[in-house]
Chains A and B, each alone.
Chain A
Amino acid sequence: MAPISVVLKRSLVLSLLLMGAQSIHAQSAADEIAKYREMIADGNPSELYEMSGEELWKKPAGPKNASLEKCDLGLGPGIVDGAAAVLPKYFKDTNRVQDLESRLMTCMEKLQGVPSESIIDAKFGVGPKKDMDAIVAYVVTHSKGKKINVSTTHPKEKQMYEMGKRAFFYEGGPFDFSCASCHGSSGKRIRLQDLPNLTTHDGAVAGWGYWPAYRVSSGQFWTMQQRLNDCFRQQRFPYPIYGSDVTIALSMYMAKNANGGIIQTPGLKR
């Protein structure tokens, strides 16, 4: 092992030497990326989704031909303003902790008679999920500027947070990745994309507070469910079921860590 430690010592000195030059290089690229983001921030196509979401919210639909206007997202039936800021949350009627998407599925099932399976199993970006995207865009826009304020006082909420934390560090798959592989320390990037450290308050605000978002690379509005789905895909995990407990637990972990931060959704992402 001796030669190796020599090599490593040398590489430490080297990386210290290189650090100066490197950070300048990375800095100018980061500045330009910041300029790019600023330029596209004005005119976020999420607004288009939000507009059709508002229509879908108010329009009678489903076997029961009812609108979603009486949906209780946690602040009482029909209250949309600020609702996304308190989710995920424990709901007495379902005896579960629910995030926005799973709660909307409950409303669609109860009020409109739309079976949840028809949404869970649908493809992203089309059909019932496309409508779900729009409704989510509408709801989260009404929490823009509000403070993230999730509760962990109910035992089920507390348990969800703890399981989310554990899931965050859970390594698996052929790449040995966990959420923490990319989002467990500060100042890291993949390619040129900054990775928020979701274990810290600021990082969690930057992550949780900016999703759902319009994603420039796919030209689609992505809900948090879809964001998590693609994280697991890149992690080389099996497929997380839409609205499943692991997705809600991770949301709870991020949201709680982000408590007090300002919601910027819908965001605009690469």
Chain B
Amino acid sequence: MKTSTMTLIKFYHLLFLGCGAIAMVTNVSAQQRPDSQFQKMMNSSFRTEGIANIDRIDQDPTQKFCSDPQFASSKAGAARALEIQKQNMASIKPPSDGKYIGDWKSGEAIAQSGRGATWTDTASTPIGGGCYNCHEIDKKEISYGNIGPSLWNYGKTRGNSQELIVYTWNRINNSKAYNACSNMPRFAHFKLLNEKQIQDLMALLLDPASPVNQ
């Protein structure tokens, strides 16, 4: 029960805030303490393979925070979440050429691909956005996941105000700027997608000519 409440909040954190519907019952006040037994297990259980280096199990503050859902959903955790979001927000850069919208056709290909960054890939394997894994986007693609919300008609129903454009840009660059424990990877932060690729994804969502907005 606790877990499902936690994950709901993970997904719709901001929506809940917006509706003032947040309700937290917990007495956890500090983050999980480091456990040497556990760390020993983690360190001895993994090894480097190809591009997947052993240091991938080292956590940054965001990952550490989100690995303790009980604390993350506590009152003290909520304050810490705001700090984490701030840190992530600070890492986002606007497009260097000032262009937010690229080519939706390339965007669709990036959204379809779930490849890259595994030990069976190489450093030169293009990394996909994997967007359809979690989102409905173009309705024509019936094989889509539902971990994230549907993005069908994203631009058509939300308009194309500058605020929306910047919000969408930020969200793809670093989703944790809005929701500390969002399930969405930080595409710019970990250099998973480059600026051009993010512009193309922006077009897929916002270009009036994109199939998403038909």
User: A residues engaging B (CB < 8 A)?
Assistant: 3-12, 14-15, 18, 22, 25-26, 29, 159, 163, 166-167, 169-178, 180-182, 184-192, 195, 197, 199-200, 232-234, 236-241, 244-247, 249
Question: Which of B73-94 touch A at CB < 8 Å?
Answer: none
Q: Which 4 A-B pairs have the closest CB atoms?
A: A239-B49, A246-B45, A3-B163, A185-B7
With A8-B14, A185-B3 known as contacts, the answer to whether A172 contacts B56 (CB < 8 A) is yes
Is the beta-carbon distance between A172 and B47 smaller than 8 angstroms?
no
Is the beta-carbon distance between A4 and B167 smaller than 8 angstroms?
yes
Q: Which residues in B have their C-beta under 8 angstroms from that of A170?
A: 42, 57, 59, 67
Q: A172-B59, A172-B63 are in contact. List 20 more A-B contacts (CB 8 A).
A: A3-B164, A5-B18, A8-B18, A10-B157, A11-B15, A12-B15, A171-B59, A172-B58, A174-B56, A175-B192, A176-B185, A180-B7, A184-B7, A185-B11, A232-B46, A234-B118, A237-B56, A240-B45, A244-B46, A247-B45
Q: Per a CB cutoff under 8 Å, which of A12, A29, A169, A182 touches B142?
A: A29
B54 CB to nearest A CB, Å: 5
Interface size on B, residues (CB 8 A): 69
Is the beta-carbon distance between B19 and A176 smaller than 8 angstroms?
no
A12 CB to nearest B CB, Å: 5
A95 CB to nearest B CB, Å: 15
Q: Which residues in B have their C-beta under 8 angstroms from that of A195?
A: 147
Determine the distance from Cα of A238 to Cα of B58 in the docked complex, in whole angstroms: 11
A154 CB to nearest B CB, Å: 16
Is the beta-carbon distance between B57 and A237 smaller than 8 angstroms?
yes
Is the beta-carbon distance between A26 and B18 smaller than 8 angstroms?
no
With A182-B147, A238-B48, A241-B46 known as contacts, the answer to whether A173 contacts B136 (CB < 8 A) is no
Q: Which residues in A have their C-beta under 8 angstroms from that of B10?
A: 185
Is the beta-carbon distance between B117 and A7 smaller than 8 angstroms?
no
Q: Which residue of A lies closest to B15 (CB)?
A: A12
B154 CB to nearest A CB, Å: 9
Is the beta-carbon distance between B146 and A189 smaller than 8 angstroms?
yes
Determine the distance from Cα of A18 to Cα of B157 in the docked complex, in whole angstroms: 11
Q: Which residue of B lies closest to A12 (CB)?
A: B15
Is the beta-carbon distance between B47 and A238 smaller than 8 angstroms?
yes
Determine the distance from Cα of A6 to Cα of B158 in the docked complex, in whole angstroms: 10
B134 within 8 A of A: yes
B109 within 8 A of A: no
Determine the distance from Cα of A172 to Cα of B41 in the docked complex, in whole angstroms: 15
Is the beta-carbon distance between A180 and B69 smaller than 8 angstroms?
yes
Is the beta-carbon distance between A244 and B52 smaller than 8 angstroms?
no
B150 within 8 A of A: yes
Question: Which of B1-30 touch A at CB < 8 Å?
Answer: 3-4, 6-8, 10-12, 14-15, 17-19
Is the beta-carbon distance between A239 and B67 smaller than 8 angstroms?
no
Q: Which residue of B lies closest to A243 (CB)?
A: B45
B31 within 8 A of A: no
Determine the distance from Cα of A8 to Cα of B15 in the docked complex, in whole angstroms: 6
Is the beta-carbon distance between A169 and B190 smaller than 8 angstroms?
no
Q: Which residues in A have their C-beta under 8 angstroms from that of B46?
A: 232, 237-241, 244, 246
Is the beta-carbon distance between A237 and B52 smaller than 8 angstroms?
yes
A191 CB to nearest B CB, Å: 5
15 A-B pairs with C-beta separation under 8 A = A3-B164, A12-B18, A14-B157, A26-B146, A174-B190, A181-B147, A188-B146, A232-B46, A233-B52, A237-B57, A238-B56, A241-B47, A245-B41, A246-B42, A246-B45
B22 CB to nearest A CB, Å: 13
B27 CB to nearest A CB, Å: 19
Q: Per a CB cutoff under 8 Å, which of A6, A11, A176, A197 touches B149?
A: A11
With A166-B38, A239-B48, A241-B45 known as contacts, the answer to whether A171 contacts B63 (CB < 8 A) is yes
Q: Which residues in A have their C-beta under 8 angstroms from that of B19?
A: 9, 12
Is the beta-carbon distance between A15 and B42 smaller than 8 angstroms?
no
Q: Which residues in B have their C-beta under 8 angstroms from that of A15?
A: 149-150
